Structure 1
Amino acid sequence: MTNTSSGTLTDVARTAVEGRCPVDHSAFTSPTGCPISPAAAAFDPFTGPYQVDPAASLRWSRDEEPVFYSPELGYWVVTRYEDVKAVFRDNLLFSPSIALEKITPTSDEANSVLAQYDYGMARTLVNEDEPAHMPRRRALMEPFTPAELVHHEEMVRRLTREYVDRFIDSGRADLVDEMLWEVPLTVALHFLGVPEEDMDTLREYSIAHTVNTWGRPAPDQQVAVAEAVGKFWQFAGTVLDKLRKDPSGHGWMPFGIRVQKEQPDVVTDSYLHSMMMAGIVAAHETTANASANALRLLLEHRDVWEEICADPSLIPNAVEECLRHSGSVAAWRRLVTDDTTIGGVDIPKGAKLLIVNSSANHDERHFDQADDFDIRRDNASDHLTFGYGSHQCMGKNLARMEIQIFLEELTRRLPHMRLVPDQEFTYLPNTSFRGPEHVWVHWDPTLNPERVYPAVLSERQAVKIGEPSKNTIARTMQVDALDRIADDIVLVTLRDASDRPLPKWSAGSHVDIDCGDVSRQYSLCGHPDDRTTLQIAVLHDPESRGGSRWIHTSVSVGDSVRMRGPRNHFKLDLDADRYVFVAGGIGITPVIAMADRVKAAGRDYEIHYAGRSRDSMAFLDRLARDHGGHVRLYPSDEDTRMDLTTMFTTPVEGSQIYSCGPERLLTALADATAHWPDDTLHVEHFSSTLEQLDPSEEHAFAVELKDSGITVPVAADQTVLQALRAANIDAQSDCEEGICGACEVPVLDGEVDHRDLVLTKSERAVGKTMMTCCSRACGDKLTLQL
């Protein structure tokens, strides 16, 4: 372990010179005999900085001592992203069996109270080991899938609207007391299928379970907490008995009762009782706290709040960034089943771990500028707030739906809402779940939008059920200039509508532009160092599917357009000795940016550019000015054509070939360079070549998800991506045509039938990755790291 000292550097130096270690080894040692640093000895998750901001309070640990022993808790504490994720990934070495264990042992008197109520909380999906866990998880998963969650959207919207209606004209509200506590609890009870007449009673008891399990109630409080927990347990059983009489209704509990009839050994009576109680807490408090954290965070960052008010499409990724930055689940616990090493620290069998996922979510090693609040962060959904692997939260997408709807309703109806200044945010002391007990806001009711524009009440933003794709993070751009640079080609210059700096990009990158009802990809051709504008060149293609026609006929200077990206799946390798660029028509767009970069790097290169005529070929002036003798033009009307076979007769060592253009050019170039070394040729495609899956031509197979511990069947007429979504597995995607690379996942085993237009020949041969939207298994099974 790393030793740290609370003394000054001078103190440390002095003690070192005197031959004494600056850490008092006699004070504390861990169970392995390793000395405990003063910072580790002082760690107390029940008071002080950890309760205010767990991630900030453990910055010292992430930087200096990422795995340490806490004598206050008797736990080893894990704080870095990769270490926390590794613990989540391996549910055999790191058993979840202590996840619901009382972190503060209760008194005999409190235990006696629980016994009076026949309290018998058994293992649930949260703290159950294999081999029992996964069969139950699979059996009970269906109500949590996106297809099933769609049915709850209207109920969540109705409840949210009703609660906002109660305070919309008051000008002041505690969002927690008046909305964020009650709505998630009511949603949880509806989701479970609890009868309306029993909801109020269950509401009274739910918080006691959290305090009993993760809190530190004083001895004189433990009896009262135990009394509430016992009543909660007893009444949950009463409600369950009522549901057993007629399990035909909607809800997770009726579903579980129906499954029990088919699989009585998997879903037992005691298991249903425990699930009933744990499900209310899991579905309620985590979402209530996450919602309160999100509203506080957004209102503290006023510019971001106003941005999502103006552009509700940003809400799904804003939710994801809120969950990362200030999630409601601060930490989980695990039991080590064998001697092991975490982050270079030896951990003995039987050790207890506090894995602080809130700290992991602020690890600079995984998240750039991790403490910043950035709703356009492209890896926000990598957060570990929902856990990871086979024990990842089943209700994650219900929580996402609720928070999205809360934000949509409040940004639309109360965009002028602000935090009441100088309020103190307090938290219920516990190690694992956090959210402010109160969030006071105020506003001027006379400015409520619905008073002057009643139609605002009927507006609605589409809810994203599931993990938002990093490639759907949009920004509003303004058209700064439209310059005709060739026949039927316009150069479009875009700038951020709010004058924020634009993302960095590299040669070969493209952006996605919403062109009316369709989205199209366009390569960037400006200067990567320019953070104020982006440029795309668009051909008015007579065969257009709507994108280029829309830009040429419907867009004017000053208009706003929606843009996603930049992204790069046509990356330039700058380690080559020589470059050959081959462009056809509008394919010159990414090529010219690549040529600019190679020239700046001082490398040898040549550009071959074909088109119908000089008048139809873009950037001729710029090519002549910047690349001169490196350029060879092939206008068809001048009887000059590329002889690819001759050009590439002899392979040249150290060369790389990059090409973009019509499919006939790319196909001919692939044939002409077939005898060149693998991965010499790199191409970018304009359009997909995928066809509809024909089940008579395809075969079914299975994908084993190594980290999630499940095997998902893929039907002959189904893509891997569709199968993953049906199994409630978070899966990134965008174009779903095999040309954008958004759905790429690691392959651990099995032969892939690659059908994308993204991977290189050698990447396909190695077979370590695949695109789930189109590629399939050659055999009966693939193993993916998901």
Structure 2
Amino acid sequence: MATNAWMDVQIVQKRLEADDIVSLLLRAVDGARLPLFEAGAHIDLEIAPDLIRQYSLCNRPDDDRTYEIAVLREPASRGGSAAIHDRLQVGQTVRISAPRNHFPLDHAATHSLLFAGGIGITPILCMAERLHGAGASYEMHYCARSAAKMAYRDAIAASPIAARSVLHLDDGPAGQQIDLARILADPAAGAHVYVCGPAGFINAVLECARAQGWAEEQLHREFFAAPTDRPAPEGADESFTVTLASTGLSVEIPAGRTIVDILGEQGVFIPTSCSEGICGTCVVHVLEGVPDHRDYLLSDEEHARGDRLTTCCSRSKTPRLVLDL
């Protein structure tokens, strides 16, 4: 089960990075060093009691004194982004988790293609800084609707990564708009693709890459929200049994209910946050049975392995699952 080692940090800077995007710079309250993190990592931020959201770290991963996140104000905010924009202020103390990473770089890659759409720049920017610092081969393509909506544009221009970064604006001239087929042509062995942003952007990059012959193990993506057009499950949901390995407790998970909800009613509480199969907070290990994966977090390889599942949304293909709880 995912666990959180909560830390108190202070907001030492809040800055408008672009239209509807603010960044927060966080520092340990006691001035201590923060846990090191790898590019692609994120933290849980407790915005208010019972309001926890995940945000990618976008500062240099060798910085152990501060964490930086950037937050887009979502029109349909469930409270998280609106609270950060409207209520959190410099000087306030908030709680965060230690970093964890579901979107890591493959450091053995011969070349890395980085694609960011909108607020998806946050983990991608950190990746570019990490690859540049390591002297690795990479290029970054950053797409936004307009210059006013492009966070960190000036910071990128002033950074050494600018030489390997291409910025694409939807409202810009045709010649600077992104040409995925050209960029993804002729996939090289050992090269990897990383993409983060809105679901439509991610799917466009991945579909083009697959059409150009990229293998699945070369493709890496991170969703910030579940796609609105997620495919419907095959057939009607059926009930199944979940057994806890530690106690032998067995409960039935009926159609229309989640593992998290039913176990919670039995006093077994699994930490959750997104409830959409994106953040990884509720992931548990599977000891027996075959999961019916409904998440956007685990890779195709991890789905095939079947040894973990997101308990907030996934179900079972077999009558019984035994969980490592």
TM-score, with length taken from structure 2: 0.86
SS of alignment partner, residue 482 of structure 1: strand
Q: After TM superposition, list the pairs within 5 Å mapping 1:314-713 onto structure 2.
A: 470-471=3-4, 473-516=5-48, 518-624=51-157, 625-639=159-173, 640-674=176-210, 675-689=213-227, 697-713=236-252
Equivalent position SS for 2:53? strand
**Does structure 1 retain, via aligned residues, the 8 Å contact 2:199–2:226?**
no
The answer as to whether partners of 2:168 and 2:177 remain within 8 angstroms in 1 is yes
1:710 Cα deviation from its structure 2 partner: 4.9
Deviation at 1:631, TM superposition (A): 0.9
C-alpha change, 1:488 and 1:724, in structure 2 (3 Å) is closer
| Contact in 2 for aligned 1:587/1:660 (Cα 8 Å) | yes
Tell me: CA distance 1:743–1:550, structure 2 relative to 1, closer, same or farther (3 Å): closer
The residue type paired with residue 736 of structure 1 is S
Q: 1:718 to 1:547 in 2, by over 3 A?
A: closer
Query: After superposition, what is the alpha-carbon deviation per residue over 1:332-361, rounded to whole angstroms, capped at 9, x for unaligned?
Result: xxxxxxxxxxxxxxxxxxxxxxxxxxxxxx
Greater CA drift, 562-571 or 755-764: 562-571
Change (3 A) 1:486 1:706: closer
Instruction: Write the letter of the residue equivalent to 1:509.
Output: A
Matched ranges for 1:40-55 at <5 A: none
C-alpha contact 1:752 1:770 (8 A) present in aligned 2: yes
d(CA) in 2 for partners of 1:680, 1:742: 25
1:413-472 Cα offsets, whole Å, 9 max, x none, are xxxxxxxxxxxxxxxxxxxxxxxxxxxxxxxxxxxxxxxxxxxxxxxxxxxxxxxx623x
**SS, match of residue 177 in structure 2:** coil
Check conservation: 1:478, 1:495, Cα contact below 8 A. Answer: yes
Amino acid at match of 2:26: L
Question: Structure 1: how far apart are the matches of 2:9 and 2:287?
Answer: 40
Contact 2:112–2:138 (CA<8 Å) still a contact in 1? yes
The structure richer in strand per residue is 2
Distance change in 2, residues 1:543/1:772 (3 Å)? closer
Whole-angstrom CA distance in 2 between matches of 1:615 and 1:655: 32
- Are the aligned partners of 1:649 and 1:672 in contact in 2 as well (CA < 8 Å)? no
The separation in 2 between residues aligned to 1:643 and 1:612, in whole angstroms, is 15
Relative to the length of structure 1, the TM-score reads 0.38
Structure 1: which amino acid aligns with 2:322? T
Q: Distance in 1 between matches of 2:198 and 2:294?
A: 19
* Residues 583 and 661 in structure 1, CA contact (< 8 A), matched pair in contact too: yes
Q: Which residue in 2 is equivalent to 1:758?
A: 297
Equivalent residue, structure 1, for 2:318: 779
Residue 532 of structure 1 deviates from its aligned partner by 2.2
Counterpart secondary structure, 2:295: coil
The 3 A distance-change label for structure 1 pair 706 and 494 is closer
Residues 480 and 724 of structure 1: CA distance in aligned 2, closer, same or farther (over 3 Å): same
What is the percent sequence identity of the aligned residues? 39
Write the distance in 2 (CA, Å) between the matches of 1:544 and 1:717. Answer: 24
The alpha-carbon deviation at position 486 of structure 1 amounts to: 2.9
Structure 1 residues 783 and 562, CA gap change in structure 2 (3 angstroms): closer
| d(CA) in 2 for partners of 1:776, 1:657 | 30
1:547 Cα deviation after fit: 2.6
Q: Secondary structure at the match of 1:722?
A: helix
Change (3 A) 1:560 1:706: closer
Q: Measure, in 1, the Cα distance between the counterparts of 2:29 and 2:142.
A: 35
Contact 2:286–2:321 (CA<8 Å) still a contact in 1?
A: yes
CA shift at 1:543, angstroms? 4.0
After superposition, the Cα gap between the structure-2 partners of 1:709 and 1:476, relative to the gap in structure 1 and judged at 3 Å, is closer
Q: Equivalent residue of 1:610, what SS?
A: strand
Show structure 1 runs of 5+ residues with no match.
1-381, 383-468
Name the SS for the 2:187 alignment partner: coil
Cα distance in 1 for residues equivalent to 2:87 and 2:263: 38
1:700 touches 1:714 (CA, 8 Å); kept in 2?
yes
Question: Which position in structure 2 is the counterpart of 1:424?
Answer: none
Which ranges of structure 2 fall in alignment gaps of 5 or more residues? none
Q: CA deviation at 1:689?
A: 4.6
Cα shift at 1:474: 3.2
SS at match of 1:495: strand
Q: Do the aligned residues in 2 keep the contact of 1:515 with 1:546 (CA within 8 Å)?
A: no
Q: In 1, Cα distance between the equivalents of 2:72 and 2:132? A: 26
Matches within 5 A, 1:127-138: none
Q: Which one-letter code corresponds to 2:15 in the other structure?
A: D
Q: Which has the higher contact order (CA 8 A, sep 6+)?
A: 2
* Equivalent of residue 768 in structure 1, options 294, 304, 307: 307
Is the alpha carbon distance of 1:638 and 1:529 closer, same or farther for their aligned partners in structure 2, counting shifts above 3 Å?
same
CA RMSD, 1 decimal? 2.7
For 1:567, the aligned partner's letter is R
C-alpha distance 706-555 of structure 1, shift in aligned 2 (>3 A): closer
* Residue identity in the other structure for 2:169: P
In 2, the alpha carbon distance for the partners of 1:488 and 1:733 equals 26
When you count helix as a share of all residues, which structure comes out higher?
A: 1
Matches within 5 A, 1:231-242: none
Is the CA contact (8 Å cut-off) linking 2:115 and 2:196 kept in structure 1? yes
**Residue 748 of structure 1 pairs with residue 287 of structure 2:** yes
Identify if the C-alpha distance between structure 1 residues 654 and 534 changes in structure 2 by more than 3 Å, giving closer, same or farther: same
SS in 1 for 2:97: strand
The amino acid of 1:526's aligned partner reads N
Structure 1 CA distance for aligned equivalents of residues 242 and 260 of structure 2: 11
Instruction: Tell me if the contact between 2:52 and 2:273 (Cα under 8 Å) persists in the aligned partners.
Output: no
Per-residue deviation at 1:482? 2.1
Are the counterparts in 1 of residues 60 and 130 from structure 2 also a CA contact under 8 Å? no
CA 549–744 in structure 1, closer or farther in 2 if over 3 Å, else same: closer
Amino acid aligned to 2:296: L
Runs of 4+ with >6 A deviation? none
Alpha-carbon distance change, 581 to 780 in structure 1, aligned in 2, over 3 angstroms: same
Deviation at 1:663, TM superposition (A): 1.1
Measure how far apart 1:707 and its partner are: 4.9
The answer to whether the 8 Å contact 1:747/1:768 transfers is: yes
Residues 356-381 of structure 1: CA deviation (Å, up to 9, x unaligned): xxxxxxxxxxxxxxxxxxxxxxxxxx
**Secondary structure of the corresponding residue to residue 697 of structure 1:** coil
**Letter in structure 1 aligned against 2:187:** P
Q: Cα offset for 1:617?
A: 1.2
Per-residue displacement from partner, 1:559-613 (whole Å, max 9, x unpaired)? 2333333222222221211101000111111101111111222211110110122
Once the 2 structures are TM-superposed, how far is the Cα of residue 732 of structure 1 from its aligned partner? Answer: 4.7
| 8 A contact 1:754–1:775 mirrored in 2 | yes
* SS of aligned partner of 1:515: strand
How much does 1:720 deviate? 2.2
